[in-house]
Amino acid sequence: MKRMIWIGMMVALCLQGMAQTNKTTIVKQTASKQTTTTKKPSTTMKKTNTTKQAAASKPAVAKTDKTNFNQKTAANTQAQKENAALQQSTGYLYNPPLPYLPQKLDVLFVGNSFSIDTSTALPSILSSMGMNNVNVYVLYKGGCSMKQHYEFYKSNEKVYELYRYNSQGEVQLEKATSIGEVMQRFPYDVVVWQQYSLESGDYTTYEPYLSKLIQAYNITKLSARTTFAFNETWAYASNFKNLSKFKTQKNMWKSICTAVRKMKAASGIDVVIPCGTAVQNAREVEALKVDNELTRDGTHINNYAGRYLLACTFFESIIAPCMNRSIREDNTTYGKSTDVGQVNDSNRRLLQNCARLAVANNYEISEFAGQ
């Protein structure tokens, strides 16, 4: 009996020892798990910190760049909407391309004194290059706007003078004629329109008069095909009183460019004679600076360097692509040695550059004008 009791006590002690051992093992395993679990967050934090550092090391897109991009996108979208609206309101013209190598080139210029300024030096250039088959007719009424041209067409008033410019010089053909009569006088290859300079920077003054004049010409024209072009006028001198409407000379030029862009989009007249940009190019060239910023009275271009510059721009825009010639071929001396702004070997190439660069980019001042 005692033996049995002893054996039972031994068994109980063994079971108690085993239970204790199991508890210790479980505690160790639990501690191990807890240790492992507490280590994992530190690894995760290291990864998070590394990610943050990597993100911080990447160059951030500047807010100003995003703002500029958004503004440009909005401006482009607005311009597209405006152009679409203009086309719907005026109708898009199919403008035939300029004629190539015609036997004779006849151009009609419907304008004012700025048209005379643009054409006056052409005879010297045409004579110098031996071009006897080009005639430029200028229908002149001082200060005449698009609206006035339209009204004079309807009334058939004889308020215009008519001039012709060719290699033989300048000739006044009529002292008093009407726009309707001159439209039907010759089968013109090209008809050039021009707005009054003070209204050139306001597109609302162009229409509906330009569209109506084009319609009027198309029903009376003698030629089978006519290409329409537009002469972009130039900004006034900085000290001229009427410049206050635009505040600065460059603002006036930019306004003119904006209006001509709209005209081009709405009317379909895709040939621009960028006289305004050519003049602005020349104003940036130190060697071409003369009194009153290339004008003789603050508005009209000066008689020699200025008029030669405009004639070069006209030549490169209209005559050069038609006749396959370049203004680079001209070596004329325009004006006397005593004339302010005489065109000679010292400035001729610079003036030609200003014209050619304006034709290449109608609405931008070029950094290469002085080369």
Three-class secondary structure of residue 165 per DSSP: strand
pLDDT at 94: 87
pLDDT at 27: 38
Our count of domains for the chain comes to 1
Cis amide prior to 208 (ω within 30 degrees): yes
CA 46 to each of CA 34, 52, 219, 274: distance values in angstroms, whole numbers, following the listed order? 19, 10, 82, 65
Residue 293 lies in a domain: no
- Cβ atoms within 10 Å of 126's Cβ, excluding its own: 26
Burial of 336 (0-12, 13-18, 19+ CB in 10 A): exposed
Residue 362 lies in a domain: no
Nearby residues of 66 by Cβ (< 8 Å), 6 or more positions away: none
Tokens of 243: 């410049």
Residue 176 lies in a domain: yes
Residue 238 lies in a domain: yes
Concatenating the DSSP letter of every residue in 168-212 gives TEEEEEEEEE-HHHHHTTS--SEEEE---GGGTT-GGGTTTHHHH
Residue 353 lies in a domain: no
Contact (Cβ atoms closer than 8 angstroms) between residue 93 and residue 110: no
pTM: 0.78
pLDDT at 37: 43
Residue 267 lies in a domain: yes
pLDDT at 201: 97
Nearby residues of 203 by Cβ (< 8 Å), 6 or more positions away: 258, 259, 262, 263
Concatenating the DSSP letter of every residue in 115-129 gives HHHHHTTHHHHHHHT
Domain interval for residue 225: 101-275+318-332
Concatenating the DSSP letter of every residue in 216-267 gives HHHHH--SS--EEEEE---PPPTT-GGGGGTSSHHHHHHHHHHHHHHHHHHH
Q: What CATH number did the domain enclosing 106 receive?
A: 3.40.50.1110
Strands 105-111 and 190-193: parallel
User: In which residue ranges of the chain is pLDDT below 50?
Assistant: 1-2, 5-7, 11, 13-15, 19, 21-52, 54-58, 61
Residue 265 lies in a domain: yes
Query: What gap in Å lies between CA 21 and CA 351, rounded to an integer?
Result: 106
Q: Name residue 355's amino acid.
A: A
pLDDT at 369: 85
